[in-house]
Amino acid sequence: MYNNLVDRFLTYVKIETQSDSNSTTVPSTQTQVEFAKILMNDLKAIGMEEVEYNDTNGFVTATLSANTDKEVPVIGYIAHMDTADFNAKGVDPQIHENYDGKEIILNKKLGVKLSPKDFPNLKNYIGQTLITTDGKTLLGSDDKSGIVEIFAAMEHLISHPEIKHGKIRVAFGPDEEIGVGADIFDVEHFNADFAYTIDGGPVGELEYECFNAANVNVLIQGKNVHPGTAKDKMVNALSLAIAFDDALPSHEVPELTEDREGFFHLMGLQGTVEGARMAYIIRDHDRELFIKRKQLMRDIAIRLNAPFEDERVKVIMKDSYYNMRDVIEKDMRPVELADKAMRNLDIEPDIKPIRGGTDGSKISFMGLPTPNIFAGGENFHGRYEFVAVESMERATDVLIEIARLAAE
């Protein structure tokens, strides 16, 4: 239906753009800078205006001018350039037409299979055209599907001037996967009334509620002496680390929670008797429960430090993002517009909280309400990632319909 959609997707996913959480540059990797240059050239080629690259924040932005004299809102469409922390070099996308609902051999040599037994969601795509990995890398549908869908929607509107629309701003940003991409997004320069991140999963997803999130480092200072003479002298940092984790609610972890249930997630533990470091993330949709989770970790540290003269357990916290519902529920226009667009296209909106975050969560708190809508991919961040061509076409349909409805 959209002539360049699949070809552009197959081209873009082969370009390695993985972000790097250890980097101090913006973007975090040079490959994203090079990809930004490609996007700029391609935006100009399809007829977009005001194509710019911001050296400060790594965002590519562009404009599609309004073709109506009506006073209508300026809409923004946003997607991210980077891919996740999984092998992203040498991506070799595989096309499976008229999927039959059976097991797909991704890589015979490695024994990698995409099976409905493991992923029942595959049954939703019988008869469709799937794009998968070759079993060695991720695919990059997160979020290059979103990028090509924005491109396809802009191309369609440019070539069909009979579809009236207001001014549309697009942005492609870096480092979403490492949680810093939107930190310095220039909302004032973007100059939209509301926006959407096209960064969701299956067809119908419409999300305006996400976690409140914080990163936590627990630093533990032990004291190592010979175990034969350790009585009343040794302080085992590893034992304190175990005690700290044991003091948290054992059932409030990612593998035992769902929907709006929050959690504590131990991401890493390194240490010896002399010292240890624990890395956690805290998540909760409810702001008050989020605050209580943070306080619980502080209280545990206080309790573990009580027997010692010196502070042995130190908790360092940094909030990452907040539940964008707190902003968007004050102006539900973008949600209502997307809901109506989907229903007009016979897509049943699946409105639910994100068990994660998007760039939109940060951008919303910068003053630009930015809910998230589906891009179509599934099984993100690994070798089992896939997307249906039909899902990307449906996402493109929604972007066009949102623009059309906003101009009515």
Q: What pLDDT, on a 0 to 100 scale, did the predictor assign at position 356?
A: 83
Q: What is the dihedral of CA 27, 30, 36, 37, to 10 degrees?
A: 140
CATH of domain 212-321: 3.30.70.360
Q: What pLDDT, on a 0 to 100 scale, did the predictor assign at position 357?
A: 80
Would you list the domain boundaries of the chain? 5-210+323-406, 212-321
55 is catalytic: no
Q: What is the dihedral of CA 309, 313, 318, 320, to 10 degrees?
A: -160
Residue with tokens 């996007």, as numbered in its chain: 39
**Considering the entire predicted model, what is its pTM?**
0.90
Low-confidence stretches of the chain (pLDDT < 70) are none
Over residues 179-232, the pLDDT tens digits come to 899 999 999 999 999 999 999 999 999 999 999 999 999 999 999 999 999 999
Over residues 294-348, the pLDDT tens digits come to 999 999 999 999 999 999 999 999 999 999 999 999 999 999 999 999 999 999 9
Over residues 73-82, the pLDDT tens digits come to 999 999 999 9
CATH of domain 5-210+323-406: 3.40.630.10
Q: Is residue 98 exposed (0-12), middle (13-18) or buried (19+ Cβ within 10 Å)? A: exposed
Chain centroid, CA 226 distance in Å: 48
183 is catalytic: no
Name the active-site residue from 16, 20, 42, 82: 82
Name the active-site residue from 16, 142, 149, 176: 176
Q: For residue 27, is the peptide bond before it cis, meaning its omega torsion is within 30 degrees of 0?
A: yes
